Chain A
Amino acid sequence: RKEVEQDPGPFNVPEGATVAFNCTYSNSASQSFFWYRQDCRKEPKLLMSVYSSGNEDGRFTAQLNRASQYISLLIRDSKLSDSATYLCVVFNTGNQFYFGTGTSLTVIP
């Protein structure tokens, strides 16, 4: 079983739409959780960390459900510039980060 699983998409949404991505992780002892964004042929960059209480950064909201081992990312009022691949990342005991395969988002004018 993979450490981190994501729906690969693609998600094609119109500008202004709300879109949600989900991610599940297999190790209940996982310690830290993140969403990264990766543009085509570029390096991943941190979008936001995910905290147990949930957190928001502008149009982006991240949620963590430890009981269900589930992480989500909600993007409201989608912009063309949000088009990218979104990577779910989990840090486990053993000092290793595990990446999901990514969810592709295209925002359409």
Chain B
Amino acid sequence: NAGVTQTPKFQVLKTGQSMTLQCAQDMNHNSMYWYRQDPGMGLRLIYYSASEGTTDKGEVPNGYNVSRLNKREFSLRLESAAPSQTSVYFCASSEIGWVTQYFGPGTRLLVL
């Protein structure tokens, strides 16, 4: 099992460009999450999907959209990237909401 996979690993964007971060899990988990991690801020929840067909905003959703494509896949879209979105993005999944989360390896995004 690959666990949680994320693509791309690294990305450089110019301000105003758009991109989609992909996440997939092969553990048949119901819940999936997108976080960003910035120095001194810890991980902050952007959006989550408690189950297939549902999505909800987290702590810092502005500037992002998500799609739960199916049970396996949960994508994060930046419609118009800004330098403030420079960060490391982690996708995670869990069987149900309150149990252990498993994280993907992260996407390092630089917005110039």
**A residues at B contact (CB < 8 Å):** 4, 8, 31-32, 34, 42-46, 49, 87, 91, 95-102
Prevailing SS type, chain A contact patch: strand
Determine the chain B residues whose CB is within 8 A of the CB of A34 once the complex forms: 100
Query: In the complex where A43-B105, A43-B106, A96-B48 touch, is A102 in contact with B42 (Cβ < 8 A)?
Result: yes
**Contact count A vs B, C-beta below 8 Å:** 47
B32-55 CB contact bits vs A (8 Å, 1 = yes)? 010100001111110010100000
Interface range, B side = 20 to 34
Q: Are B48 and A101 in contact (CB under 8 A)?
A: no
B residues in contact (CB < 8 Å) with A: 31, 33, 35, 40-45, 48, 50, 56, 58-59, 90, 97-106
Q: What are 12 A-B contacts with C-beta separation under 8 Å?
A: A42-B105, A43-B104, A43-B105, A44-B103, A45-B103, A87-B42, A87-B43, A91-B98, A95-B56, A97-B101, A100-B42, A101-B40
> Is there an interface contact between B42 and A99, defined as CB atoms closer than 8 Å?
yes
